[in-house]
Amino acid sequence: MKFTNKQLKTFGKEHKKGLRKLSYKLYNDIEETANSNSLMLDAINGNKELMLTMLALNKLKNLETFGDIREVRVVNPQLASGISASNEELLYSIKKIGVKLNLENIDKIHFLNKVEILRARLKEI
């Protein structure tokens, strides 16, 4: 799966947590930083990987046929660690960034809601 240079550069240089949001290269993110209700993810490496994963999901043809997504997580098997974000933060961030990157069909990514996630977890027990 190929990403454009603009998409890759969007998630370029890392900043200390809280100083910049993922949107900082696309538009002035002062409004995101100042808005206490903003769900834009901080510009740290794990969150950049999450956004690249969201871009990859957006590029999948017939994503709707897979159903709703329960969770997106980036895992580092060498360190046995991973990172995830809430579904709301992921959708908020990718939709705001997607508008600036002119992504098509960004609304085709659907997550399970909290009740559906709980129901799925209970079925696993």
Residue 3 has a pLDDT of: 57
pLDDT digits (tens, 9 = 90+) for 10-52: 665 555 555 577 777 777 677 788 888 889 888 877 888 888 8
3-state secondary structure of 123: helix
Q: What is the pLDDT of residue 119?
A: 85
Model pLDDT, residue 115: 86
User: Which pLDDT belongs to residue 70?
Assistant: 82
Please check the confidence at residue 5 and state whether its pLDDT lies above 70.
Answer: no
Nearest-CA neighbor of 91 among 62, 35, 53? 53
Instruction: Give the start-to-end residue ranges of the domains of the chain.
Output: 5-124
Structure tokens given for 69: 């997504």
